[in-house]
Amino acid sequence: MAPSSTNSSKGDSSGRTLSSLPTPLLTDWSGLTLHKKKEVLNLLYPTCIVRAVVENHDTGAVEAIYFHLVKVKDGTFWGKTLDTYRSDDYIDLPDGKVFAFPMKDVMEVPITRQPKSLRRKLEKYLDTAGMGRAVTGALRWRDYTIRAHGLQIPAFEHHPFRGDEHEPNNPQHTTTMGRGPKKHLKRLAAPSSWMLDKLSGVYAPRPSAGPHKLRESFPIIVFLRNRLKYALNAREVQAIVRQRLIKVDNKVRTDPTYPTGFMDVISIEKSSEHFRLLYDVKGRFTIHRIKPEEATYKLLKVKRVALGMRGVPHVVTHDGRTIRYPDPLVRANDTVKFDLENNKMVDFLKFDVGAMCMVTGGRNIGRVGTIQRRERHLGGHDIIHVKDSRDRTFATRMLNIFVIGDHTKSWISLPKAKGIKLTISEERDARRKTQTDGEKAAPAAAAE
């Protein structure tokens, strides 16, 4: 197809011939039509940016190129080619080359890329009620040309806009706002302390926002359905909690995904059962039944001591509580004994050498022992060395230490293993002994 423009650029020895092609529409970068094309083009001056379609008559390739205007005279634009939307030079017109073309051949005037003094004038010509922002002017020109003239455009492609990181109207580079809190939790991403199997579904109950972090919490639904087996599915758990039968720290909780956590007391008064959430030596939340007398209090680790409004002293604990007017001797990392019935502090334990502690994180989670010494690391994590009842020593970060007793005994009852971690061989011997005892007891029971 012969170019409609009389302007052409004859280049090097290859004898290439380049010319611009006329277009019926003038659009913004977003694809909106600009009315009164001639008036809009007369407003342009050097330093403006426009887009025109250039054809190489030797190869038949067509490309829509952005130009930075360097000269405007007698209805002709001289523009320097830009690399925007160009991944390759299809028409043998390199970047930075000055090319002349008639003013009427301009197909796009990106308003947001123009000088600030010109943007307001150009916005008046936008057809905001017309075509939308689905495609750019380049794509619209290509479709129109193919339909009207039957052009073959083997080399033209629509490439991402390069160099427009600050373009406010570019949908490819706009930053989207956050979409709120996440509402789902994949089963494989659930904490291992819940002991959920992999094949019972895709999702796991996501804990609600509460006093414990997601990775350190234990939803009520998992406790009732997966551990106690009091419900077969989530609907039955809903029926249980809506009857106001479940109490956490002496408060009724009706949210099935309420996040309980370490040291929390779960009470089911209808069955007269009380549980304290503790870790076993493998880092899993264990079902630890306690007596009603022990269910009246819990231990809290002090995370921070501060002064509040009007100089009121208070401590912040590991479960999000704020206790006003604590004992003046209480410091961070100490443990407070909290009365759940009266909601007040009744006693405290100092974080000191010789105190009994339980590890709440790391590879030694769930182990119980006495604090031997504190290894200080300025600018890092202090390391605490602990010895258990079998005289085995281990070390962990101070953040993972939770004091549970004084030099003589623990203030809470401990799970079955008493916080003693066995070696692989010791676990094997214990299993064999249990199996042997069971085999011996079977014949005796049959004889009776």
Residues 272-294 have pLDDT tens digits of: 999 999 999 999 999 999 999 99
Nearest partner of 211 among 182, 249, 240, judged by Cα: 249
Pick from 296, 240, 293: which is nearest to 268 by CA? Answer: 240
More confident residue, 193 or 149: 193
- pLDDT value of position 438: 82
User: At residue 226, does pLDDT exceed 80?
Assistant: yes
CA distance 278 to 285: 6
Would you list the DSSP string of 68-116? EEEEEETTEEEEEE--TT-SS-SSS--TT-EEEEEGGGEEE--GGGS-H
First to last CA, the chain: 107
Task: Pull the structure tokens for residue 52.
Answer: 């025109």
Residue 129 binned pLDDT confidence (cut-offs 50, 70, 90)? low
Which of 32-36, 341-345, 349-353 shows the lowest mean pLDDT across its residues?
A: 32-36
In sequence order, what are the beta bridge partners of 388? none
Average pLDDT, stretch 427-443? Answer: 87
| H/E segment holding residue 373 | strand 368-375
DSSP 226: I
Token pair for 281: 């030596």
Give the strand order in the sheet containing 393-397: 393-397, 383-387, 368-375, 356-359, 401-405
Region of 77 (left: φ > 0; alpha: ψ -120 to 50; beta: rest) is beta
Confidence of residue 137 (pLDDT cuts 50, 70, 90): very low
pLDDT above 60: residue 192: yes
pLDDT score of 307 more than 90: yes
Q: Give the angle 220-223-225 at the CA atoms, nearest 5°.
A: 100
Q: Report the distance separating Cα 432 and Cα 315, nearest Å.
A: 49
Average pLDDT over residues 288-315: 95
pLDDT at position 176, please?
A: 63
**Phi and psi angles of residue 137, each rounded to the nearest 5 degrees, phi first:** -60, -30
Q: Is 62 exposed, middle or buried (0-12, 13-18, 19+ CB in 10 A)?
A: buried
For residue 383, pLDDT beyond 60: yes
Q: What is the CA radius of gyration of the chain?
A: 37
More confident residue, 92 or 295: 295
Between 1 and 108, the more confident residue is 108
> In degrees to the nearest 10, what's the CA dihedral of 284, 285, 288, 290?
150
Share of the chain above pLDDT 90, in %: 58
The pLDDT assigned to 145 comes to 40
- pLDDT, average across residues 15-34: 80
Q: Look at residues 317, 328, 385, 390 and name the one whose alpha carbon lies nearest to residue 354.
A: 385
Q: Residue 81 and residue 90: Cα distance in Å, rounded?
A: 13
Segment 113-138 shows an average pLDDT of 68
3-state SS assignment for residue 337: strand
Mean pLDDT of 403-413: 93
Q: What's the mean pLDDT when you consider all of the chain?
A: 84
Can you read off the two tokens belonging to residue 437? 């005892």
Which pLDDT does position 30 carry in this prediction? 78
How does residue 158 score in pLDDT terms, banded at 50, 70 and 90?
A: very low
Residue 166 has pLDDT above 60, yes or no: no
Structure-token match 């977003």, residue found: 30
What CA–CA distance (Å, rounded) separates 417 from 281? Answer: 8
Q: Report yes or no: 302 and 317 within 8 Å, Cβ to Cβ.
A: yes
C-alpha distance from residue 70 to each of 119, 121, 168 (Å): 19, 21, 25
CB-based burial label for 341 (10 Å; 0-12, 13-18, 19+)? exposed
- pLDDT at position 165 over 60: no
Is 16 a residue whose pLDDT tops 80? Answer: no
Question: What's the rounded Cα separation, in Å, for the pair 411 and 398?
Answer: 20
Residues making up the chain, counted from first to last: 448
Closest alpha carbon to 328 in 310, 350, 295:
350
In this model, does residue 398 exceed pLDDT 60? yes
Q: Do the Cβ atoms of 49 and 82 come closer than 8 Å?
A: yes
What is the mean pLDDT of the segment spanning 315-320? 96
| Helix (H) / strand (E) containing 433 | helix 424-447
Tokens of 161: 């806009």
